[in-house]
Amino acid sequence: MLIRSTWTLTTDTAISVPKSYGLELGKSLHSRLAIDLGSESIPSTTFAGILGPRTASREFVTFQPGEFYQLSLTGLQESSAKAIATLDLGEHLSCLGATFQIIDRQDCTSSYEALYHEQVAAEPEPKRQFDLTFDTPTAFSQNRLYLPLPLPPLMFRSWLERWNHFAPVYLGGDELIGYLGEAIALTRHRIQSQPFPVHKHYVSGFTGNVSLRILSRIDPLLANVAELLIHYAAWAGTGTKTRLGMGRTTFLSPSNPTNDP
């Protein structure tokens, strides 16, 4: 089971909270889900903080009255998905003394079997180009360092690791990553670096838009596996610290360019 729950928030007055508010909010929500953030080697949830129009100073972010904001939680396996499905936040959400009004909740559900059947087992015509948006800072852990670049092999490794850990269908390992790394190109991007507060430090990540293209020489089955993982990114997020608010990924409708290398 997979679930992505999205709450719409608003406020009647300007709300200013420390930039690190997302860590406290993430801890609070996971506590209500009875999930210990330090107990999982691969996170069974993703969390995106509060997204929407806001202004930032050196230490604080300010949410504006009359605007609409979104908070989302995603469950990547049965127990976390059920916990999110039954989570009742009530009519208000409080964090560090600030209170938002909750005006709506939307749940999107699926399953690993359904995703696999739709994207692979049904043998659809392979797509060639995909557009992704990285809504929150995204980075990849590299030997105690963090790389804030949308490199296709690192993105696919991140998605494949989570898929193989939670899904009943194993897709492959390093050989698949090597194959996809040679057959999928980063064709366009418009990204910027953005720091993300983690405890007393900051992790540099990237946000923005990225286009990937599957080259014509790829095996059709593996092209569909690649598309499956790209779709899965919208559930699993990308890169490191996705349970804390990093790596939220939005998958845009794919297109088929006329000039395919």
Task: Extract long-range pairs of 161-165: CB within 8 Å, 24+ residues apart.
Answer: 161/42, 162/42, 162/76, 162/232, 162/236, 163/112, 163/228, 163/229, 163/232, 163/236, 165/42
Beta bridge partners of 6: 72, 106
> Is the CB of residue 87 less than 8 Å from the CB of residue 33?
yes
* Alpha-carbon span 203 to 108, nearest angstrom: 30
What is the DSSP code string of the chain? -EEEEEEEEE-SS-EEEETTHHHHHHHHHHHHTT--TTS-SS-SEEEEEEESSEEE-SSEEEEPTT--EEEEEEE-SHHHHHHHHT---TTEEEETTEEEEEEEEEEEEE-HHHHHIIIIIT-PPPP-EEEEEEEEEE-EEETTEEE-S--HHHHHHHHHHHHHHH-SS----HHHHHHHHHHEEEEEEEEEEEEEEETTEEEEEEEEEEEEEE-TTS-HHHHHHHHHHHHHHHHH-SSS-TTTT---EEEPPPB--S---
Whole-angstrom Cα distance, residue 225 to residue 173? 12
Token reading at 178: 């090597």
Q: Which pLDDT score is estimated for 255?
A: 47
Domains present along the chain, CATH in parentheses: 2-110 (3.30.70.1890), 112-251 (3.30.70.1900)
Per the CB < 8 A criterion, the answer to whether 18 and 28 are in contact is no
Check: CB of residue 245 under 8 Å from CB of residue 136. Answer: yes
- Residue 16 has a pLDDT of 94
Q: Residue 167 has what pLDDT? A: 98
Q: What is the pLDDT of residue 253?
A: 62
- Considering only CA atoms, which of 177, 257, 173 is closest in space to residue 215? 257
User: What pLDDT is stored for residue 144 in this prediction?
Assistant: 80
pLDDT of residue 142: 86
Q: What is the pLDDT of residue 261?
A: 32
Q: Tell me the pLDDT of the chain (261 aa) as tens digits.
A: 999 999 999 999 999 999 889 999 999 999 999 998 778 889 999 998 999 999 988 889 999 999 999 999 999 999 999 999 999 999 999 998 889 999 999 999 999 999 999 999 999 999 999 999 999 999 999 888 999 999 999 999 999 999 999 999 999 999 999 999 999 999 999 999 999 998 888 999 999 999 999 987 889 999 999 999 999 999 999 999 999 999 999 988 654 443 333
